[in-house]
Structures are given as structure tokens and as C-alpha cells.
Amino acid sequence: MKKYYGAETEKALKNFPFSTHLVRVEFIFAVVKIKKAAASANFAAGNISKEIKNAIIKACDEILSGKRNDQFPLSSFQGGAGTAIHMNVNEVVANRASEISGVKVHPNDYVNASQSTNDVNPSALKVASLFLLQDLEIKLSALVKTFQKKSKEFKNINKLGRTHMQDAVPTTLGAEFMSYADSLNEHVKQIKNAKDLCKVLNLGGTAVGNSINASPAYIKQVYKELNKLTSEKFHKAKNLMSKTSGQTDFLIISQTITTLCVDLSKIANDFKFMSSGPNGGIGEIILPEIQKGSSIMPGKVNPVLPETVNQLYFLVSGNNVSIEKAVEGAQMELGVMIPIMVDRLIESIILSTETINQFDKLCVAGIKADKEKCKKHLEVSTAYATLLSPRLGYDKVSEIVKKSTTTKKSLRDIVVGENYLTEKEFEKIIKF
């Protein structure tokens, strides 16, 4: 393998020889997109020649095509605000551009002209996050539609509603699934807000946000070039120093993913409860059998995708804590803990997207209702008590509930059998 990276990358390989995965390619590509935009902006501002600009752009295009993935060997776990990651990109672009043009292209003087690690890396994380969030939004919206479809399918299936894991009041399976759909649809809105945060960059702020070594002409042009390259609307932050020294935007994005996973995990817990059985549990819904549930117990079907969703929440929640600590760990004019934010945030978004897609296609879409069990649990429960109270009174219904619990008779049997109401009157009251 020909090495296009140089001395700074070699130093980082020795300084950070950790057995974690490599820097995520999504981030590398985002940095390269900024380098490509910066080359055109620097040429427009008179900082580099056309020959060097074209060579840098061609080198960047090769990287973005996936041809140079083996040139980014650094561990994702490292110090230095990601300077090593940034210099790895600068060196690969510079050395390949030199080869293309036959002219020495310096990684700092040309590829990094008008830039700093401190404005490039946070901006690149936002660029990467924006495109990942777009995919997440698509997959989540698809899951919402699946829940809406199931809600219509189950709209006439009456069942027992539960609070505190106890009998509460009657509801429908369709209403439960519509509540899931609407809860998740709120998160679609929050993802849109997170995407807006990703479009506000500190690019052009250079080292501490006061734009040293970056001319106004370059700054204006680099956003035009980046937007042309990405077909997005990135724009300069009102206060570049604020976005360089503080990075709470990444925490807000992380918390958006975390709260989504909280609701997903709650839904997964409901599924595990409602599908428990098949004979010794609730069994109101039937999850698709996508793999054997046990190596020893024949016929066992486990809720493997709901359990995966639970573990997604555990992982994303842990990532969020790391990001929170990293954001708080900023010092003076720089948020120095960017490497762990890069790694943890990208993982949270990607894994959430992948898990939601599997949960939708392999679990939610294939759920079936057991109408008989839904009806049975409702009939033998005390759920009708609340509907009977306006007619018979709270105290009298409380007595009936106690008698039902003691005798194991249904409320219907007691109310109709002991002539509190006729069957016709009872049926009229319990319709909801």
C-alpha cells in the first residue's frame, strides 16, 4: 500500500495505538468536503493557484469515491481536539495533490489555508450529522406510518387498558398503536430542529473564532462552495467564537436521539409484555417469529427486536453521557474533547437508524392481534368498573369489584346475575 499520509499521522499512530475502531469514515468524508470547498474559496480569495486548487479538488474527489479509505488509519480514541485526524486528511490530500499536479502542495500552507482544526472539525461533525439525521428522519417516518397502518387494522379490537400494571379501563389495540405513532411523530419534528442546528457552522473562525488568517472574502466564498457541493444551506454562526469554545449543539443533537430512544424502548417494553406467553402470559399480540428463541426449549419465540431496541437505548444513553461530559470539558476558547463527540454521536445516529429500520420491517409490520385473548382479558378484568360508576355509584361498584376478585366471577356476571342491570343495559354502558 502506498502511503499518502505523512509525519503527523505517523506520530499519531505511535501516540494513540489504541485498540478501538478507526475514525469514522462519515467524519473523514465531511472533513474532505470542507477541504474541497476551501480549495475553491482560497483560489477565489487569491490564496492558492488554480493548478493547486484543481489538484486538491481531484484528490478530494478520489477520497470521496472511497479510493483512499486505507489512508486513514488513526484510532477514534485520541487527544488534541482531533488535530491528528485533521492533519491525516491534510497530508493525504496534499501528497496526492502533489502527485497529481507535479507541484509540491503543502498540507498546512495550501490544503489547510484559511482553516484550523478548531473550525474544521466541529463543522465537519455537523456536516456528517446532518446527512445522517436525514436518513434517520426517513426511517423514523416510515416507522410512524407502519404504526398508523396497524392502528387502522386494530381499531375495532377492544382490549384491557392498564395503569400501574393493573386493570384500568377498556381501550382498543388500535388506540394504543396510534399513541405510539403520535409519540414517535413528535420525535420526527425534533429531528428537524436538530438538522437546523447542524447547518450553523463556525467554519471561518479558525483557531479561537476570531478568524485569524481567514479573510472575509474566503469566509463568504467557502460557505457558497460548501453549499454548492452539498446542496444544503450551511451558514456562518452569528458568533464564531461562541461556537468554537462551546459545543452544546452536539449535546442537543445527542439528547434528541436519546429521548427518541427512550420512547422506542418504552414501546419495546410494552410489546414484550403484550406478547408474553404464548400460554402463560398476556398474549394479546403475536410478534413475528424471525429466529429460534432457544437452543434448548423447542418452539420458544423471543422478542429479539424489542430487546434490541432496549439495548439501543442503553447504548445511546451512555453515549449521551459521554458527549455531555465532553461538552462540559471545553476550556476557554476551545471545546477540546471533539474526538469522543465525533465517535459517540455518529454511532448513536447510525445505530438508531439501523435499529429503527429493522424494528419496523421485521417486527412492527408483522405484528398480529389475538382478538380472543384481548377480549378474554377485558371480560375477566375489572376494567368495566369505571364505566359502571356513573350509573351504580363508586361505593357500590367498589363492592362489586371486591366480590369479583374474591369469587373470580366477571363484573358482567355479577352485575347482570344479581340484577343490578339487564344485559342490554350493561352492554349499552360498556360501549366506548
The catalytic site residues sit at: 294
Q: What is the dihedral of CA 316, 317, 322, 323, to 10 degrees?
A: 70
- How many Å apart are CA 264 and CA 314, to the nearest integer? 11
- Gap between the Cα atoms of 144 and 56, Å rounded: 43
Q: What are phi and psi of 190, to 5 degrees?
A: -65, -35
Q: Which of 3, 96, 97, 99 is nearest to 49 (CA)?
A: 97
- Which candidate, 118, 123, 86, 259, places its Cα nearest to that of 197? 123
Question: What is d(CA 40, CA 49) in angstroms, rounded to the nearest whole number?
Answer: 10
CB 374 within 8 A of CB 159: yes
Beta bridge partners of 162: 167
Cα gap 274→281, rounded to integer Å:
8
Residue listed under C-alpha cell 386493570: 167
All three cell numbers of 403, joined, read 366480590
- Which class for 278: exposed (0-12), middle (13-18), buried (19 or more C-beta within 10 A)? middle
Residue type, 84: A
